[in-house]
Amino acid sequence: MSGERELPSGPGGFLGPVEPGEGTWTPLVLRPERPPERPPRLLSRRQKCVLASLLLLLALGLTIRHAVNYPGRASGSPPPGQLPPFPSQSTRFEYDGPAPAGSDSFALRLAVRNTGPAPVDVLGVSQGYRGLTVRVSGWLPRTVPPGGTLSLRVGLEVVDCSGAPADASLPFLDVTLRNTRAMETVSQILGTPYARDLSAALHSACDVTDYRTSATTPQSADKPVR
């Protein structure tokens, strides 16, 4: 037909862009973004159970090793959950005779025996006569091991004969003791030999030298009361 436009053909021809026909548009669909993935778990439940079992076995092994390496309890310590007796119940005192007096008026040897399962500390030694002072040679506190004996030198010095007994019939010493259960001060009567030796020392000290407290003399004569 002469009225139709011929399209160039052949190798030198040009074909313009192809336009879509009517009804051929594809609608644009917007899809939501995929949610971010959760971080991976460090340990699964099974792995946690295995790890807990291994830790339990390790703790059990350490406990068994400790029990094998240390089968006995420490020396002097009571069994777990059991308190030792009071120190006054497990400690005995004995008079072991006089000791060289030295600078003291009288000195004695005091034996302290511990029959209990725990160590006992000797904290102090005193007595009730105000005319006598007590000195313990060495140092305090001293520890008496379980089943052991401690020897103390106790010196007595007469400072006032009026405050000392003329005849010590029942002399006593106050001893302060301590263990892991309690601290106590107990009075100990050391028997007839100690009373005899102490009385002889008191007679010797007070008959030879006057240790009595001197009376206070007034500085001026008394004035008559008006």
pLDDT digits (tens, 9 = 90+) for 123-162: 999 988 888 899 999 888 999 999 999 999 999 999 988 8
Between CA 64 and CA 71 the distance in angstroms is 10
More confident residue, 89 or 13: 89
Task: Determine what percent of the chain is predicted with pLDDT higher than 90.
Answer: 29
CB 41 within 8 A of CB 47: no
Q: What was the pLDDT predicted at 81?
A: 61
Confidence of residue 209 (pLDDT cuts 50, 70, 90): low
Residue 82 or residue 112, greater confidence: 112
Query: How much is the pLDDT for 118?
Result: 92
pLDDT at residue 100 is higher than 60: yes
Euclidean distance between CA atoms 136 and 145, whole angstroms = 19
Tell me the whole-structure pTM to 2 decimals: 0.55
pLDDT tens sequence across 46-62: 888 888 888 888 888 88
Quick one: pLDDT at residue 117? 92
More confident residue, 77 or 221: 77
At 102 the pLDDT is: 83
Confidence of residue 178 (pLDDT cuts 50, 70, 90): very high
